Amino acid sequence: MLSDVMEDYLKAIYQLQGEHEERIKTSAIADALEVTSPTVTSMLEKLEERGLVDREKYRGVTLTDEGETVALEVVRHHRLLEAYLTEHLDYDWSEVHAEADRLEHHISEDFEARVADALDEPEVDPHGSPIPSADLEPPDRSAGKSVTEFAEGDVVVVEEVADHDPEVLSYLATHGVEPGVELEILEVAPFGMVTARSSETVDDVSLPEGVAHHVRVTPLPQAES
């Protein structure tokens, strides 16, 4: 059996691998989990012993297939919970992350199955992030690009808002930046700030780079007249 903490490390590594590919450094994990690097080093040793990560001293880790499966299970729990909380308990998308983070390690397989059933096997959570399927096959994580990669005049559809800060999410929601909406890019500043107009609201929104980076979009399938 794995501890909650081990699951958190595996989840963190999985998510970092999704962002930057390849080997994940000790310090990146330490930042993500808010612990010190020696703590991470000793945890990585334990995970390595259990065959959940491949480690090269001083050069970072990658998940083994087994480690990835565990991470996917945790992510599935997390995102199913997020979906359930918004659908059935009237949570706002800005609030679900913290609650799901607390519960994800403590639900049974049975609970997972019942929640998935109640939601009719959803494919994405309220932030547009894909929910790993019950068989825990690694999902495609290449859907969408950061909105920062587009240019003035492009029209895009928001696929995913991969931020967890409730304040940021509330802000985005009130300015019409949510999965499914269309965004017309008005400006991409050299320092990464994106200004856009949402199909949902009248006002324009400006997203500082840190935020914009988490807004993943796809080009509008059909050009508009």
Which residues sit at the interface with DNA, rule CB under 7 A?
3-6, 25-27, 30, 33-46, 55, 57-60
Residues numbered 21-60 forming contacts with a second copy, rule: CB under 8 A: none
Minimum CB distance to DNA smaller for 50 or for 145: 50
Backbone torsions φ then ψ of 208, nearest 5 degrees: -60, 155
First-residue to last-residue Cα distance in the chain: 58
As given in the structure block, the two tokens for residue 29 are 């994990």
Cα separation, 13 vs 24, whole angstroms: 7
Minimum separation from the CB atom of position 44 to DNA (A): 6
x/- map, 103-142, a second copy, by CB under 8 A: x--xxx-xx--xx--x------------------------
Cα separation, 13 vs 202, whole angstroms: 39
> 88 is in the binding site of which of DNA, a second copy, none (Cβ under 5 to 8 A by kind)?
a second copy
Minimum separation from the CB atom of position 137 to DNA (A): 27
DSSP state letters, 134-184: TT-PPPP---SEEGGG--TT-EEEEEEE----HHHHHHHHHTT-STT-EEE
**The one among 21, 22, 90, 120 contacting a second copy by CB under 8 A:** 90
**The one among 54, 99, 154, 200 contacting a second copy by CB under 8 A:** 99
* Choices 14-22, 94-102, 197-205, 208-216; region in contact with a second copy by CB under 8 A: 94-102
Percentages (nearest 5) of helix, strand, coil residues in the chain: 45, 20, 40
Q: Is there binding between residue 151 and a second copy (CB under 8 A)? A: no
Minimum separation from the CB atom of position 77 to a second copy (A): 12
> 3 is in the binding site of which of DNA, a second copy, none (Cβ under 5 to 8 A by kind)?
DNA
Secondary structure letter of residue 42 according to DSSP: H
Minimum separation from the CB atom of position 60 to DNA (A): 6
Cα separation, 170 vs 214, whole angstroms: 14
